[in-house]
Amino acid sequence: MGNIKFGFGTMRLPRLDPEDPQSIDIEQYKKMADVFMDRGFCYFDTAYPYHGERSEEALKEAVVRRFPREKLVIADKMPILRVKATEDYQKYFDTQLKRCGVDYFDIYLLHNLGRDRYINTQKYGGFEFISRLKEKGLVKNIGFSFHDDADTLEYILSEHPEVDVVQLQINYLDWEGAVAQSKRCYNVAMSHGKSVIVMEPVKGGTLAELPPKAMEIFKEYYKDKGQSIPSPASLAVRYAASLEGVQTVLSGMSSLAQLEDNTSYMVDFKPLTEGEKILTDRITEILKSTIKVPCTGCRYCLEVCPKNINIPDYFGLLNLHAVTGKKSNMYYERFSMAHGKAKECIGCGACEYNCPQHIEIREFLEDFAKLYEEEV
């Protein structure tokens, strides 16, 4: 087996038509796979819905048919959102084996598990299904990918100690973040003795293209050390890879240039130095200086809200948008489960009276409703 510390994520493959996710540039993908394998790596991560359901077949054409199966580590994921009955699990799994052109997966995950999807996964026996796959030798390691809070992760892992791995969103911007809760989720996984696969180490490109002020201190750090200036993405990937217990860090690469850069510093991986850790803290401070709401997440507001509006987590999403310019409808759907919508605020002011930070909560809830609930 080759080096699995760095994995090739296949949800952002090169396209022939930038507007068409199904138009995968197979020839460029093949060249990328060649470089990836030549440099000693072997881990490929795919999923049923990626690229309009074309990612798995592209993996077969660009990778599986061109390299010995025993030289590859292939991870795939059960599309649990589409499962409507117990028998659907087998149907989707058989389809995935065929699409990928393999007779087993090295790693098989329940895809994007959170508090909402966990309910039906339990109902239809998802964990029992993947456990049977492992017993039959159809998969070698089982687990789930996860986007939710640390308390939910703790609950799931306590209920299902049989899983081998957990795939988590971890990056230095989200490490202390209120939405992804990278640090808390990582600590939960470690406390349960699970191997961790990292996704979104550069946060969808946010940490690959730093704003001018952050880029300035990034360059200054390496110049002062007399070192050549690496890519910002390298700092982010190495940050995640430096964490104890991290088995693999994934990167969704969409060009040969990106792949050559990422693999260049992961071939002979060196953990972050103490100075680089401080650098990530400084960059995080700059990025977070643009936050919109000075909410500390104490949740005193939620204790008195007559509509049970999830104010702290909604404000976390509002701040995330202010920092990155991106929305996350997935997190909104999970944070709003069993809670009122921001637009349902009756303006009573009880939350503001109870807020230690004296935040103008009602005004920010209006902003949140305009951002999320007018389109949801």
Q: Is the pLDDT of residue 356 over 90?
A: no
Residue 177's pLDDT is 87
Going from the N-terminus, what domains does the chain have, and what CATH number goes with each?
Answer: 3-283 (3.20.20.100), 300-373 (no CATH)
Question: 109, exposed or middle or buried, with CB in 10 Å at 0-12, 13-18, 19+?
Answer: buried
**Cα 290 from Cα 285, distance rounded (Å):** 9
Q: What confidence category does residue 312 fall into, taking pLDDT thresholds of 50, 70 and 90?
A: very high
Q: What is the pLDDT of residues 125-153, one digit of tens each?
A: 999 999 999 999 999 999 999 999 999 99
Q: What are 357's strand-pairing partners? A: none
- Comparing CA positions, the residue from 202, 296, 273 lying closest to residue 240 is 202
| Contact yes or no for 332/317 (Cβ under 8 A) | yes
| Contact yes or no for 267/37 (Cβ under 8 A) | no
Give the SS3 label for residue 145. strand
**Which parts of the chain are beta strand (E)?**
3-9, 41-45, 73-78, 105-113, 139-146, 165-169, 195-199, 246-252
Q: What is the crossing angle of helices 126-135 and 115-124, to 10°?
A: 60
- Comparing CA positions, the residue from 7, 14, 17, 19 lying closest to residue 45 is 7
Q: What confidence category does residue 304 fall into, taking pLDDT thresholds of 50, 70 and 90?
A: very high
Q: What is the pLDDT of residues 256-270, one digit of tens each?
A: 999 999 999 999 999
**pLDDT exceeding 70 applies to what percent of the chain?**
99
Q: What is the pLDDT of residues 332-348, one digit of tens each?
A: 999 999 999 999 999 99
Residue 285's pLDDT is 93
Q: What is the pLDDT of residues 79-128, one digit of tens each?
A: 999 999 999 999 999 999 999 999 999 999 999 999 989 999 999 999 99
Residue 299's pLDDT is 85
Averaged pLDDT, 28-32: 97
Residue 320's pLDDT is 87
More confident residue, 193 or 316: 193
Q: What is the pLDDT of residues 199-227, one digit of tens each?
A: 999 987 889 889 899 999 999 999 999 99
Residue 45's pLDDT is 98
Give the SS3 label for residue 4. strand
> Which two three-digit tokens encode residue 31?
């060249």
Residue 155's pLDDT is 97
Q: What confidence category does residue 374 fall into, taking pLDDT thresholds of 50, 70 and 90?
A: confident
Q: What's the mean pLDDT when you consider all of the chain? A: 94
Residue 376's pLDDT is 45
